[in-house]
Amino acid sequence: MAKQLIRVKVNGRDIERAVEPRLLLVHFLREELDLTGTHIGCETSHCGACTVDLDGRSVKSCTVLAVQCDGAEVATVEGLAQGGVLHAVQEGFYQEHGLQCGFCTPGMLMRAYRLLQENPDPTEEEVRAGMSGNLCRCTGYQNIVKAVLYAAAKLREAHKAEEKIAA
């Protein structure tokens, strides 16, 4: 099958690859770029294990073609921690026991990362609704909700501190 050249920024890195037009984004990430943190749990966009950030929106990478990402920016779980420091959502999941088998976790983290930019101060209900595109079989969500609220509080604090410094 004829390949098509795409340019994508993944976790801040510029990538140029020739790919089959039918290649799914999730396979592009996992198999072409060896970013195996993004998982596949179904093939019908229900489970959310493959959630990544595409141009500032959460998408399920099992139903996006790699060629659709030409010119786009993609962020995956591997890009969350910066300079060896965990992102607040990663810390929240660790502190609040928001994961067990870990398979849904990267998708959960990427969704939480985006959710907290859409709504920095969510209620418990808003977290539940905002995370409802991601399924978890292990935790029963209770600690995932706590983890997201932990991260929200931490990010708000950091934001306040930044504002103080700026003032």
Partner 1 sequence: MNAPIDRAAALAGIGQPRLRKEDARFVQGKGRYVDDIKLPGMVHMDIVRSPLAHARIKRIDKSAALAVPGVIAVLTAEDLKPLKLHWMPTLAGDVQAVLADGKVHFQMQEVAVVIAEDRYSAADGVEAVAVEYEELPVLVDALKALEPDAPVLREDLAGKTEGAHGRRLHPNHIFTWEAGDQAAADAAFEAAPVRVEEALFYPRVHPCPLETCGCVAAFDPVRGELTTYMTSQAPHVVRTVVSMLSGLPESKVRIVSPDIGGGFGNKVGVYPGYVCAIVASIVLGRPVKWIEDRIENLSSTAFARDYHMKGELAATADGRITGLRVHVVADHGAFDAMASPSKYPAGLFHVCSGAYDIPAAYARVDGVYTNKAPGGVAYRCSFRVTEAVYLIERLIDVLAQKLNIDKAEIRMRNFIRKEQFPYRSAFGLEYDSGDYAAALRKVLDAVVYPALRAEQAAKRADPASPSLMGIGLTTFTEVVGAGPTTSCDILGVGMFDSCEIRVHPTGSAIARMGTISQGQGHQTTYAQIVATELGIPSEEVQVEEGDTSTAPYGLGTYGSRSTPVGGAAVAMAARKIHAKAKKIAAHLLEVSEADLEWELDRFKVRGDPGRSKTMKDIAWAAYHEPPPGLEPGLEAVHYYDPPNFTFPFGAYLCVVDITKATGEVQVRRFYALDDCGTRINPMIIEGQIHGGLTEGFAVAMGQKLDFDAQGNILGNTLLDYFLPTAVETPRWETDYTVTPSPHHPLGAKGVAESPHVGSIPCFSSAVADAFAHLGVTHLEMPHTAYRVWQTCRELKLAA
Residues in touch with partner 1 (CB under 8 A)? 20, 22-23, 27, 30-31, 34-44, 46-47, 49, 76-78, 80-81, 86, 90, 93-95, 97, 99-106, 109, 127-129, 131-145
Least gap, CB of 165 to partner 1 (angstroms) = 28
Measured from the CB atom, is 72 or 100 closer to partner 1? 100
Please state the closest distance from residue 83 (CB atom) to partner 1, in A. 13
Select 127 or 152, whichever has its Cβ closest to partner 1.
Answer: 127
Please say whether the beta carbons of 111 and 131 come within 8 A: yes
Compute and round to an integer the Cα radius of gyration of the chain: 16
The answer to whether 76 and 29 are in contact (CB under 8 A) is yes
* Token pair belonging to 89: 């959502």
Nearer to partner 1 among residue 58 and residue 105 (C-beta): 105
Nearer to partner 1, 8 or 27 (CB): 27
For the CB of residue 38, give the shortest distance to partner 1 in the complex, in Å: 7
Distance CA 92, CA 27 (A): 28
DSSP E strands in the chain: the ranges are 4-10, 13-19, 51-54, 57-60, 73-75
